[in-house]
Each structure stands twice: as C-alpha cells, then as structure tokens.
Amino acid sequence: MLVLDTCALVALAEGEPMRSSAIDAIEAAQDALALFVPSFVALEVAQKIAVGKLVLGKAGARTWFGEAVRRFGLAEVPMSASMALAAYALPEPFHKDPADRVIVALARLLGSPVVTIDRRILAYGRQGHVQVLAY
C-alpha cells in the first residue's frame, strides 16, 4: 500500500526518473490495487497549472488527472471529514501547506508510506511521524 504525493504523481505520469526501489514498490502496490492518491492532489495539480507553475502538455488538469488515475490504476481517495480533521491534528511541528497535510494525514490513516521527494515530508518522516519512500 502506497500514497502518492503530487510530485510523485506528476513524476510517474510524466515518465520522470525514479529510484528502482520506488518503481518496484509502486508496481507492487499497483498489482495489489493499493496505490492511492488523495483527490486533494487534483486540486493542487489544477492550481499549479492555473498559475503556470506546472505545464502538462495540452490536456487540462481534469483530463490529465483522470488519465493518470486510469493509466496507473490509482485508487482515488475522496476528501472525508476524517482526513480533513486529521490534516490539522498532525504532530507538530509540520508546515502549513494544506495539500501536504492532507497527503500525510491520509498516509497516517492508512498506515502507508508516502512516495515523495518533498523535503518537508521526508524530514517529517525522519522524525517518525509518517512513513516515507523517497523516489
């Protein structure tokens, strides 16, 4: 079981280089139908495209996200009240980015690692607050 953060989803979908250990773990999670992405990641992708921080070809955010979910067999996890509340009940200190908080909260609720290269999430993992897998 794995949770992809926004950067990991983009890297996977865009064919960016990843460590072989991360690729192996992602493929195993796909085979087990246990590769998760919070729906909140769609919001972050759309926001980054809208402000020009992310360019993903001609497809709009809705098309790109939907294709990524289908192509990689991701289980999209809708935002729930439990996730929203858990995002702001994380052990502190953790930064205030709501997307990262939701991603980490989901991983903690599932007892699953987050696939990421986000330095703040990796540091949070080193503190023992969430399992991480650097790609």
For the chain, the average pLDDT equals 96
Question: Mean pLDDT throughout 103-128?
Answer: 98
**Quick one: three-class SS letters along the chain?**
CEEECHHHHHHHHHCCCCCHHHHHHHHHHHHCCCEEEECHHHHHHHHHHHCCCCCCCCCCHHHHHHHHHHHCCCEEECCCHHHHHHHCCCCCCCCCCHHHHHHHHHHHHHCCCEEECCHHHHHHHHCCCCCEEEC
pLDDT digits (tens, 9 = 90+) for 15-70: 999 999 999 999 999 999 999 999 999 999 999 999 999 998 787 899 999 999 99
In the chain, the percentage of residues whose pLDDT exceeds 90 is: 96
Say how many C-beta atoms besides its own lie within 10 A of residue 42's C-beta.
20
- 66-90 burial by CB neighbour count: b if 16+ within 10 A, else e? eebbeebebeebeeeeebeebbeeb
pLDDT of residue 59: 79
User: What domains does the chain contain, in order, with CATH numbers?
Assistant: 2-134 (3.40.50.1010)
pLDDT of residue 67: 96
